[in-house]
Chains A and B, each alone.
Chain A
């Protein structure tokens, strides 16, 4: 399987705290993306980081990529109850096929 794995599987934090989730993958990639999924809905794109980038920011999101360890992390700062969702990483190593991880379920407690 080309799937990545997110860690932890589930995360529960208080509103205002930071949430960090990790993604590990298996083969060399072109880029890595993070997606969010609210319960019962489709996935929504959050951010993309290319294989030659080490860190990227978008609003309250910070993504890092370590290609030597084949891992990425997503940091959500100052979390809000509305951030409650599942988060998935997606890797692209072929140029046109995207493989998703198993997801981290984040619960932000008001």
Chain B
């Protein structure tokens, strides 16, 4: 357990509204990731961070932005939510070891 907390855990929002998901870690891991999980697609990388203010795009980054102002926090923002962004979002961290640590997920429904 790498002490990863995601918030909110569940959210329903309307199309066109902005949404921010927060990931907080207590282990001081350098790398942090946001994934989305959808049936038939598994987990897909949205964005990741390799340090404070250092971020890069993953394979499904369109419509998403991220920010990391502190080592422990990694925010994922949907600027204008769409129904296609209804998904389960997972935050993960990596400390250069053999293991990626995952949060418990955030269920987002865009109506």
Contact = CB atoms under 8 A, between A and B. Distances in A.
Chains A and B belong together in one complex: yes
A35 B87 CA distance: 20
Interface string A1-32: 11100100000000000000000000000010
A2 B59 contact: yes
Nearest to B41: A102
A3 B94 contact: no
Nearest to A102: B42
A45 B43 contact: no
Interface of A: 1-3, 6, 31, 33, 35, 40-45, 48, 88, 90, 96-103
Contacts of B104: 41-42
B41 to A, nearest CB: 6
B40 A102 contact: yes
A45 B98 contact: yes
A88 B43 contact: yes
Contacts of B58: 97
A1 B59 contact: yes
A42 B59 contact: no
User: Would you call the interface of chain B mostly helix, strand, loop, or mixed?
Assistant: strand
The 3 lowest CB-CB distance pairs between A and B, nearest first, are: A42-B102, A102-B42, A100-B43
Nearest to A98: B100
Nearest to B44: A3
A41 B105 contact: yes
B105 A97 contact: no
A55 B49 CA distance: 32
Nearest to B100: A98
19 contacts: A1-B44, A1-B59, A2-B59, A33-B100, A40-B105, A42-B90, A42-B103, A42-B104, A43-B43, A43-B100, A43-B102, A45-B99, A97-B58, A98-B33, A98-B92, A99-B45, A99-B59, A101-B42, A102-B41
